Amino acid sequence: MKEKLIFSFLVILTTGLMGSSFVVAKMGLVYISPLLLAGLRFVIAGSIMLFFVRMFKRKQPAHRGEWGKVILIGAVQTAGVMGAIFLSLRTITSGESAILTFMNPLLVVIFGTLVMGVRYRMVQWTGVLIGFIGVFIAMGSHLAIEIGTFLGFLSAVFWAAGTLLIKKWGKLFDIWVLTAYQMFFGGLILLVGSALLETSRLVINSNSIAILLWLSIPASIIQFTVWFYLLQKGDSGKVSAFLFLAPLFGILSGWLVLGEQLGLPLLVGGSLIFAGIFLVNWPEKQMPVKVTV
């Protein structure tokens, strides 16, 4: 019972941090331009993690080819995903951005089939269908589609691509080293993007510093640490099934903190998307092995 309570608490903690980070990021845009905020967040988080992985002498990438893979993952998983999310928050609500971003498990099934030839079960394809119906209901209710809608969807595309790259190459690396470097390199790419693509804005005060530290430490380092701990200690399929809680927390925190309107289409569509994510990630039942003597 105690282990189940701890597991439940950690699941709520990590998915709550995932979802609520959209609200905190939207608050941060008042003080810091999108790509600069995302870049600073992950350079800080990556630097802190690199300090610890080096202190504990975790295995580093061995050659130029491995470094190239790490940088590519950082470009897709951190720079691509987070850049699109932070830019999307300029024109759509944090709840809508969370819903679109966490469509990534649905896209992983599609991309995995088309690109990597992975075979998925009928229940997973059912989840994809239900999820996309939910997206149509949640986002199709708007008379005008904002640029943030496309950016939110693009973040899910990047995340799905990053997931497949990690599935392909992840076993080559220590997971903590990979996480630290991909955040750091992704953050550097975002800072370069900020310098080239936007009019950078940085207002330094107690609010902006608190927001940046929250995004860098609890919403990045702690969230990643708890999530990987759960994946290592429990069944990865069952743990991943709880990803549907992250956009739920994103919607609720946007409503509570920013006063964002929920609306029936968003609630119905969001519920279908949550159900789709749950079905896509639900693990296959293991058949008992018969032993003959």
Q: Where exactly are the structural domains of the chain?
A: 2-120+144-260
Taking a C-beta distance cutoff of 8 angstroms, is the pair 264, 134 a contact?
no
pLDDT for 205 equals 95
pLDDT for 145 equals 67
pLDDT for 120 equals 77
Point out the residues of the chain with pLDDT beneath 50. 143, 286-293
Q: What is the pTM of this model?
A: 0.84
Q: In whole angstroms, give the CA distance from residue 75 to residue 162.
A: 9
Q: In whole angstroms, give the CA distance from residue 224 to residue 11.
A: 12
**How far is residue 48 from each of residues 93, 177, 220, 224, measured CA to CA in Å?**
30, 12, 11, 13
pLDDT for 213 equals 95
* Secondary structure of residue 32 in the 3-state scheme: strand
Taking a C-beta distance cutoff of 8 angstroms, is the pair 22, 89 a contact?
yes
Nearest to 285 by CA among 116, 121, 105, 119: 121
